[in-house]
Amino acid sequence: MTNTLTAENSDTPDTTFRSFQLAEPVADNEGAVVGNGVMSFIGGMEPQAKEDVRNSYQYASLAADHALREDPAADGETWYNMFARVMAELGWVFVKKNYQLNTSLSHSFSMETAALDVLKAAIAAAALPGPTALKLMEIAKGTVDVLRGNSEIAGLFDRQANKAKRVNFAVCASYQNEHGETFLSVGTTLFNAEAAITDVLFSVYESADVKIYQGEASMTLNVPVYDAARATVKAELGDLASTVVRRFPIR
Q: Within 10 Å of residue 93's Cβ, how many Cβ atoms? A: 12
Q: Is residue 51 part of a domain?
A: yes
Q: Is residue 227 part of a domain?
A: yes
Averaged pLDDT, 173-177: 95
- List the domain range (segments joined by +) for residue 223: 47-238
Please give the pLDDT value at position 98.
Answer: 93
Residue predicted with more confidence, 6 or 64: 64
Q: Taking 80 as the threshold, does the pLDDT of residue 23 lie above it?
A: no
Q: Taking 70 as the threshold, does the pLDDT of residue 208 lie above it?
A: yes
- Rounded to 10 degrees, the C-alpha dihedral 57/229/72/162 comes to 20
Q: Taking 80 as the threshold, does the pLDDT of residue 248 lie above it?
A: no
Tell me the per-residue pLDDT of 114-147, one tens digit each, with 9 for 90 and over. Answer: 999 999 999 998 888 889 999 999 999 999 998 9
Q: Which residues lie below 8 Å from residue 151, measured CB to CB, with a gap of 6+? A: none
In angstroms, the CA 234 to CA 85 distance is 18
**Helices within 37-150 (DSSP H only):** 47-70, 76-90, 111-125, 130-149
State the pLDDT confidence band at 243, using cuts at 50, 70 and 90.
low
Residue predicted with more confidence, 76 or 52: 52
Q: Is residue 40 part of a domain?
A: no
Q: Taking 60 as the threshold, does the pLDDT of residue 38 lie above it?
A: yes
Tell me the per-residue pLDDT of 232-242, one tens digit each, with 9 for 90 and over. Answer: 999 888 866 55
Averaged pLDDT, 18-47: 74
Q: Is residue 152 part of a domain?
A: yes
State the pLDDT confidence band at 245, using cuts at 50, 70 and 90.
low
Q: Quote the crossing angle between the two packed helices 130-149 and 111-125, to the nearest 10°.
A: 160
Count up the domains in the chain and report the number. 1
Q: Are 146 and 3 in contact (CB under 8 A)?
A: yes
Considering just the CA atoms, what is the radius of gyration of the chain in Å? 17
Please give the pLDDT value at position 58.
Answer: 92
3 state DSSP class of 251 = coil
Q: Taking 50 as the threshold, does the pLDDT of residue 37 lie above it?
A: yes
Q: Within 10 Å of residue 199's Cβ, how many Cβ atoms? A: 14
Q: Is residue 1 part of a domain?
A: no
> In the predicted model, what is the mean pLDDT of the chain?
83
Please give the pLDDT value at position 9.
Answer: 34
Q: Is residue 78 part of a domain?
A: yes
Q: Is residue 120 part of a domain?
A: yes
Q: Taking 70 as the threshold, does the pLDDT of residue 40 lie above it?
A: yes
Tell me the per-residue pLDDT of 57-116, one tens digit each, with 9 for 90 and over. Answer: 999 999 888 877 767 666 788 889 999 999 999 999 999 999 999 988 888 899 999 999
